[in-house]
Amino acid sequence: MEENKFLLIGDKFPDMTVQTTHGMRNIPGDYAGKWLVLFSHPADFTPVCTTEFIAFATRKDQFDALNTELLGLSIDQIFSHIKWDEWIEQNMKVQIPFPIVADHDGSVAGRIGMVHPGKGTQTVRATFIIDPKGYARLILYYPQEIGRNMDEIIRAIKALQISDLKSVAVPANWPNNEILGDRLIVPPAKTVLDAKARLQDKTIECYDWWFCHKENK
């Protein structure tokens, strides 16, 4: 296994070629122009991981609508992935529509920080959201014993996309923020003149010049 390193938010995802259940893939090259959720699971044929794969699979249409691809990974052989994929379809009646990386030697996981020494030699539940230009935009880590919330991953992708499109920030619990609802936060002014002008701008509302928001439209 390669030395464990940590990919950070804003880093360009390193180019790598991986073996998957759908054939060879180049990351991030094969996903250029799309968003990618690359997520690791501790091991095939484990209960929490099985529930996660079903949760991802049943939301495939939602990810498709966001121009987002899914790519799983664990330190298992390709044969194990294939058999587990078949087992889920036969026993749980859910087809896994996305590829799974067979990182049998841990070289991929070690290269980007999916293995945390304090949690053993298996991958933790790492989730990387990679943008269409190949940059890591959001990173989540869960321990092996706790499954992820897939709806939060979808929410995060929506928030990143709207932030990029409209040059805004997104409040807590968006689109159901306690005080702003689905409104979007306007970045703070950076000059005295901008701060004064902001308070006169009829297209936005402000609690103060540094806390302004606008409709999501």
**Residue with token string 């180019």:** 15
Closest CA to 152 of 188, 187, 112, 125: 125
Give me the residues paired with residue 101 across strands.
20, 73
- From 49, 109, 112, 184, the catalytic residue: 49
Q: Would residue 212 show up in a list of annotated catalytic residues for this protein?
A: no
- Contact between residue 57 and residue 94 where contact means Cβ atoms under 8 Å apart: yes
Task: Report CA-CA distances (Å) from 122 to 15, 48, 84, 99, 112.
Answer: 23, 14, 17, 19, 14
- Contact between residue 16 and residue 128 where contact means Cβ atoms under 8 Å apart: no
**Element of type H or E holding 68:** strand 68-74
Tell me how far apart the alpha carbons of residues 15 and 17 are, in angstroms, rounded to a whole number: 7
Residue 35: both structure tokens together: 């968003």
Other beta carbons within 10 Å of 102: 22
Residue positions annotated with a catalytic role: 49
